Amino acid sequence: MELLADAIRYSIVIPLFNEEKNIRPLYSRIVDAMAELDGDYEIVFVDDGSRDETFNILSELCEEDPRVLALRLRRNFGQTAGLQA
């Protein structure tokens, strides 16, 4: 089976809980690391019921970078549920 030229090769899934101060540095490090690899990628952040500004920052990143997706869980379900979402 041949991959399409615009197919996403890598999906990076990151569950977050109250990580407002760490999101942008993490995002920058991921982008830097992915620049070393060939292939398109997406970054899927899962906000696991954060009570801080985590989701607002994720929303800003989604607007700035089309490779970023954000899911928001209504309450904290834990890391495993965040990865499954």
Is 5's pLDDT higher than 60? no
- Edge-to-edge strand order for the sheet containing 68-73? 8-16, 40-48, 68-73
The listed CATH number (3.90.550.10, 3.30.300.30, 3.40.50.720, 3.40.50.300) that belongs to domain 8-84: 3.90.550.10
Instruction: State the DSSP code for 39.
Output: S
pTM of the predicted model over 0.85: no
Output the pLDDT for position 76: 62
Output the pLDDT for position 77: 55
Domain spans in the chain, listed from the N-terminal domain onward: 8-84
Q: Nearest CA to 45 among 20, 5, 1, 3?
A: 20
User: What does the pLDDT look like over 16-74, one tens digit per residue?
Assistant: 999 999 999 999 999 999 999 989 999 999 999 999 999 999 999 999 999 999 999 87
